Structure 1
Amino acid sequence: MSASASAVAATLPIAAQPTDPTPGAVVIFTVGTQGDARPCIGLGQSLKRAGYPVRIVTSENFAPLVREAGLEFAAISADFSDLLTNNPETVDKALNPWYLVQHTRAKFAQWAATWAQEARPACKGAALLVGTGIVTQLAKAIGEADGIPFIQAHLQPFTPSRKLSPLSFWSEREFPGAVNMALFSVMKLLAWYTLKPAVNGAIRPQLKLPLFPWYGPFFDKNPERMRVLYGYSRHILPPPDDWPAEVKVTGSWFLDQADVWQPPQALADFLAEGDKPVYFGFGSMLANNAEALTQVVLDAVRLSGRRAVLATGWGGLRCDPGRLNDQVYVIEAAPHDWLFPRMAATVQHGGAGTTVAAARAGVPSVFVPFFGDQPFWARRMHALGAAPPALDRRTVTAEQMAQAVAQALQPERVRAAAELGEKIRAENGGASAVRALTEWGLLPPPRLARDTAAPALERVA
């Protein structure tokens, strides 16, 4: 995202919606961090390449990213960057699911007070609504009120299985099938407790829809309403064999920018000067101890003897961009599909998008999870041999981080990461998602069908 585009976006009012929405569009709803928005925009691009007009309903801060991807944009009130910036304790304590639920439910209800009013005009004449994350129920409600087909799409597994534990309760040891099913019920009730003030308190009353019962909407057994697209790779998490046919694991949805993004010349010069560096970055994550964590990272780089690229992101690391010394170059952000193939390894938080970007590039990773699904993906990558055990962000030392980098770069992990990358590059999650939607009869056959197999990422020497 360019600075000029961000500046323009900041001047746009929240009510600036398409005055005449394109008829027959697929409207994708997403709210959250970059890791939530980018895959949805990537899915939108796949749909557009197949001939469908696409509109993304999301927060204003992602307007430039949506428009630069060639998709229509519509705004709703939500700003996760503001939530994390002004409430860093949310990240510090968010590995506790109950704290996360308690802290976010009021904020979601506050945002949702205007969601139906803001989003409904953007759905006028739409062919399909796609709901993800916390705005899934918003998309579903508008579809119900206006008679528009709806499908849910997620980046993490939520469908109950006897052979898979829910993300919030995932453990190294296997639980009995009955315990897993019970834990999925607990997860559904926690999710409903979090969203109930937003959904039953604002969205459904404003659309004049009946309220959900005390246990919420997540125990619905209707096969068509159980349909879900999962935008992650089966090579990272194979789908359990007890999932119904209505569940499709398509592969990841990538927003690729390598062909259009131009690196600063100083960064290009740094990369050309020596061995591949190690990437250190925590994306959209923020915390109270960002300065201390930055010092741990810098000391770990020195102890490792490796060159490094540090990405400050939304503020998880605090450094001025530019060349810090002969060993370290600092950036705010760069497209992962451009940067990661030029890295020897990544040290990251373990968000779904960053995890699969490193896996796709075929490089090993070190994980420092902050919250949510991040510990789950860190454990999966360790189980696949492409990462050492995750580090505890709250207690990690420079010595531990440097040692983990050395472990990640051991030949067996480098080899496992390279083999996993080949498998993921052979997938095309966007095209698979389009195919599933047409097979389910939710969209007419693609008119252009130009979304061919994704090219392998460039392997930079």
Structure 2
Amino acid sequence: MNIEILAVGTRGDVQPYVALGKGLLAAGHCVTLCTCAKFESFITDHGLNYASMNDDLIDFMHSDDGKIAMENTGNWWEAIKTAFKLLPKLGPMQRQQIKDTWESTCAAKPDLILFHPKAVGAVDFAERLGVPCMLAFYLPMYVSTGSFPAMGIPDLRIGRWYNRLTYRFIAKATWWGTGKYINEWRQANGLPPRRGGKYLRHANGEPIPALHAYSESIIPRPSDWPESATVTGYWFLNHPEGWRPSPELEDFLAGGEPPVYFGFGSIFGRDPVHLTQIVLDAVRATGVRAIIASGWGGLDPARFELPSTVLAIDSVPHDWLFPRVAAVVHHGGCGTTAAGLRAGRPTVVCSFFGDQPFWGAKVKALGVGPAAIPQKRLSVERLSAAITQATTDVTLREKADALGQRIRNEDGVGNAVQFINHWMKRSR
């Protein structure tokens, strides 16, 4: 099959799709990944075809306005208020993204489209081309269940009816933010207008299959899900063959007790120097050795004179580094959380926005890390207490190790490829 993957977001958003694409490629399919232009070499280096999309959205996320906006998305009410303010800026971006992805989709000539929810218009492109599509995502947000509410909605524990209602709300909110631009495109391309509220339905009423890229050890598959929805396991992209760490990193790891890893991603927080100061003060207070990853700007250790017990790095493949550390402290993004859990290491989540509080709550509920610390409340005292718990609590460390073993035994990419192949054969 000729398969196109539409993915929008940061490096952490895109990376799981590269892993999935490589699995599909190994299974004999031709794979094109359409995403922001800044990731073109990352995609082609892994042997996948690249299709163009502009960088407008990701540039906005990295801008001061974007960071301010994301600081106001701690709950859905704040997110809705923020969205109203941003509509004048986001509207033109949505239109341009739909235009870019449609042109790339026409060029790719797919037999199947896999899409991230932020890839607006994917379902409509599939309808226009007469091909199937599938949601491919790493959060439980769109397939209704009575077992738990949609990600980001408070768990009020007032009944299964409420849980199901939250998914209707998500579908309505998604359509509210994108429906205008989708129907503009549909009108221009000879399709009747579409109504919102039925997010995972083809035009003929058939369900759109949904793959969920997380472990059932973290979120079990609900018993009331339709057979069109599956939990595959995580889609991990391992470090390339031949990759080697720097001699400095190897020497540091060999020079003492396993360090604690600190990394806060790329777009989180407007004051990475202040965050770095908190980290360094907590490291000093707890006496641990530390590796601080500047990554794409979440922390800024270059501004400080570091003691010999602290090593600053740019970025290192998590699957190589995390098994060699004592604990991982990070923002709580899905990919970083998954990598830490797979390594069997206790996790300290310092959540910022979006899905990060959700994963922080999961870590705490599973007993593999202390309670998450929202970055607005991050302090030396709170971070020090969390580091101490993560590095000394024997029960917590045993649970993290056991969970890591279960996740390492899963084959998320293989399960996803099998589901896709099975569903496509069945649909034919």
Structure 2: which amino acid aligns with 1:357? A
1:275 maps to a residue whose letter is E
**1:141-180, aligned counterparts within 5 Å?**
141-158=124-141, 159-171=143-155, 174-180=157-163
**Aligned residue among 61, 67, 76 for 2:44:** 67
What is the letter of the counterpart of residue 129 of structure 1?
Answer: I
Inter-partner Cα distance in structure 1 for 2:323 and 2:305: 20
Partner of 1:421: 404
How far does the alpha carbon of each residue in 1:128-187 deviate from its partner, in whole angstroms, 9 at most, with x for none?
Answer: 11111210x42222111112221111110121111111111143x633111112222222
Q: Identify if the C-alpha distance between structure 1 residues 104 and 256 changes in structure 2 by more than 3 Å, giving closer, same or farther.
A: farther
Shift of the alpha carbon at 1:279?
0.7
Check conservation: 1:30, 1:131, Cα contact below 8 A: yes
- Deviations along 1:349-400, whole A, 9 cap, x unmatched? 1111111111111101001111111111111111111011111211221121
Q: Which of residues 166, 181, 184 is equivalent to 1:198?
A: 181
CA distance, structure 1, for counterparts of residue 329 and residue 293 of structure 2: 10
The residue number in structure 1 matching 2:6 is 29
2:382 to 400, 412, 432: 400
Q: CA deviation at 1:117?
A: 3.9
Mapped to 1, the partners of 2:209 and 2:43 lie a distance apart of 26
**Distance of 2:253 and 2:194 partners within structure 1:** 55
Name the CA shift for 1:349/1:206 in 2 (closer, same or farther; >3 Å): farther
Query: Quick check: 1:186 aligned with 2:169?
Result: yes
2:145 touches 2:224 (CA, 8 Å); kept in 1?
yes
> In 2, Cα distance between the equivalents of 1:323 and 1:361?
30
CA deviations 1:109-129 (Å, max 9, x no partner) are: 322323344333433432211
- Distance, in Å, in 1 between the alignment partners of 2:374 and 2:61 is 20
Report how many aligned residue pairs link the two structures: 418
The answer to whether structure 1 residue 218 and structure 2 residue 199 are counterparts is yes
- Partner SS state of residue 366, structure 1: strand
Change over 3 Å in CA distance of 1:341–1:224 after alignment to 2: farther
- 1:7 counterpart residue number: none
**Whole-angstrom distance in 2 between the partners of 1:375 and 1:199:** 30
CA contact (8 A) 1:352 1:373 kept: yes
Structure 2 CA distance for aligned equivalents of residues 270 and 216 of structure 1? 54
Cα drift, residue 104 of structure 1: 5.5
Tell me, in whole angstroms, the C-alpha distance in 2 between the residues paired with 1:198 and 1:109: 8
Which residue, out of 338, 342, 346, partners 2:324?
A: 342
Task: State the shift of 1:238 in Å.
Answer: 0.6
Alpha carbons of structure 1 residues 273 and 226: separation in structure 2 relative to 1, 3 Å = same
Q: Match of 2:59, as an amino acid? A: D
Query: Which of 251, 266, 274 is the aligned partner of 1:269?
Result: 251
Name which of structure 1's ranges 220-229 and 402-411 shifts more when overlaid on structure 2: 220-229
CA distance in 1, matches of 2:297, 2:287: 25
Q: CA deviation at 1:243?
A: 1.0
Indicate the RMSD between aligned Cα atoms, in angstroms. Answer: 2.3
Query: 1:81–1:314: 8 Å Cα contact kept in structure 2?
Result: no
**Partner residue, 2:118:** 134
Query: 1:105: how far off?
Result: 4.9
The residue that corresponds to 2:355 in the other structure is 373
Q: Report matched runs for 1:41-56 at 5 Å.
A: 41-56=18-33
Alpha-carbon distance in structure 2 between the residues aligned to 1:392 and 1:426: 32
1:298 aligned partner, one-letter code: L
Q: TM-score, normalised by structure 2?
A: 0.91
Structure 2 counterpart of 1:427, one-letter code: E
Does the 8 A contact of 2:201 with 2:208 survive in 1?
A: yes
Q: Residues 215-261 of structure 1: CA distance to partner in whole angstroms, max 9, x if unpaired?
A: 34427497742410111111111111111111110001111115343
Secondary structure class of the residue paired with 1:394: helix
2:219 & 2:88 partners in 1: Cα distance? 33
* Offset of residue 108 of structure 1: 4.4
Mapped contact 1:235–1:420 kept (Cα < 8 A): yes
Q: Is the 8 A contact 1:41 1:69 kept in 2?
A: yes
* Structure 1 residue 264: Cα displacement: 2.2
Contact 1:362–1:418 (CA under 8 A) maintained in structure 2:
yes
Secondary structure at 1:168's aligned position in 2?
Answer: coil
User: What percent of counterpart residues are identical?
Assistant: 34
Q: 1:28 to 1:104 in 2, by over 3 A?
A: farther
Deviation at 1:269, TM superposition (A): 1.6
Counterpart for residue 413 of structure 2: 430
- Give, as a single letter, the amino acid of the residue that structure 2 aligns with 1:375: P
Match of 2:109 in 1: 125
Counterparts of 2:240 and 2:388 in 1: how far apart (Å)?
28
What's the offset of the Cα at 1:210?
2.0
Contact 1:128 1:443 in 2 (8 A): no
Which residue does 1:94 correspond to in 2?
A: 73
Match of 2:230 among 218, 225, 248: 248
Instruction: Measure how far apart 1:39 and its partner are.
Output: 0.4
2:213 corresponds, among 227, 231, 239, to 231
Partner residue in 2 for 1:316? 298
Deviation sequence 1:399-443 (CA, Å, 0-9, x none): 210110111121111111110011111111111111111111259
Which structure has more relative contact order (CA 8 Å, sep 6+)? It is: 1
Structure 1, gaps ≥5 residues long:
1-23, 446-461
8 Å contact 1:233–1:249 — kept in the other structure?
Answer: yes
Aligned position for 2:314: 332
Q: Does the CA-based 8 Å contact 2:133-2:208 persist in structure 1?
A: no
Equivalent residues of 1:162, 1:180 under 8 A apart: yes
